[in-house]
Structure 1
């Protein structure tokens, strides 16, 4: 089985091909500094081939949800250094996912309580959870063309900070309806300048961000996550094939460490991206069983597969799978509830045996 064979992903040497997908858990401190719980959570999962963290905001404006971590102050760097040290001491590898939420935010959730920023003043449909309960997404403020280089700089600075914090690399979050994805989309980006309209213009921001990060920390430590056709947080893409093949064509010469694809049902696009992308391809199939995911490895469609809830509920997932042992079921009621319950209290096989003995 290909799953348990080593693989090179840019500068990283992975012992197998089962990685942990990024998952927001809302358990950092109010100032965005990782907590002791965060350190333990990631340390417990160090046997995954690679850990991709929850989305980490690169600035105050980048925060969307409550209690999510940052990576742009000295305190953030010091807090994340404790996490990365713990993961490395346990034999693991960890990259930071940089996520600017853009319009998927609310002033009540940010340090400065300002209006969210986005490509265009188009609010997302739906509500955002805040300390006072769910609230409608506000209309964001459109970024001026003169402001965009500053946002790109936020990503570059965050990437530099991530390396200073001991991360093995950085993944730019270009999926799930957040800022980079908003620029790619047809409904959130109504701009008429160089960042809107044509496919060439709509991919420009993503290309600039990824290029800046790669120049700062090395292309072989830089990845990008995309989710073609994903309507999450009210995103519309009229022609995902044209959009993402154009994006990949422009980024391919950078020789990035990897492309991370959140894949749904479009196997034709998956195959096209596989042929067009020159380095490692990480594939996440939400809701798919493990056999379906492993088939992507065995067929060559993916170099690494990423899993979310399975890794969340099973801190020793590789050992369980290799032993053919039962898996813990994820408790969805505790995904965002705070505290250790449903976060660091899922038992390992050894703990189960100790309790039974």
Structure 2
């Protein structure tokens, strides 16, 4: 994959084809032009809705975790002030506590409703299915085979039928698709590849840049690095906070048993009680955020998929390096890669469906 030069990794660049791409040798050029006309708009609509809804979902998750944690901490502060006979100092924290509690209530209710609706998951799945359709549509024998394998009209019918089915997806279909484990067999009918080596090389060049390189480096690698970084910096923090809470309890007992001889020591003892409550609450809030995003599991998943796509790229390079290019073998590798990416999407769906955000 290192041989691929200057690949556009901007969002949606794998789904957008400019006139230069559509001018590639036949049948690839005509296929790309047709797919651009028929798949770009429904994909773009679903993708934008998915991004908007997911951003809202993520904001609600963060608000609920942060505001809920802050509300509990302020309640603990209020209790501490009362224990110190500082009731007059409670009014400001109490007002803030009410605001945070109401904000948390709103976030939880809205988030539960959003989680129930799962609209962002439906649109994300729909957009990805349009992406699968585009690249799988570049492989079937009806496009690359000899005259006995079908015609371009049959290929167009296949694209239109699949696109119409994706337009009618609902939430129940997303769950059904995630619980299936379908392995698509390579289409029959390819007795010979009805195109020359140049056309096959163009197909592989396009697929490597638009599909393999984009998915591997533009998505899986970036996501793996991002999740690894967040997981690395937050993984031990809940444990540390919990341990510090235990230390605060221990200090409280030591002060009460041996050191309480002044108002200052009594105040310090109350502070230790507050910290004994605060640290576990902070740990719980951070653990809630980590659970909602599954940073560790997601990082491992993305890293593994990245390595697998590199292997598919090497397999294609090996086929192109042979003295006689086997068109059927190349198309089978592309088909296997699409099977792999669909399986990855199912795995991701299951992870997200099972994840608890609250």
- What is the TM-score of this pair, normalised by structure 1? 0.24
Q: Normalized per residue, which structure has more helix?
A: 2
Task: Decide which structure has the larger Cα Rg and report it.
Answer: 2
Q: Normalized per residue, which structure has more strand?
A: 1
- What is the TM-score of this pair, normalised by structure 2? 0.24
Which structure is higher in RCO with an 8 Å CA cutoff and minimum separation 6?
Answer: 2
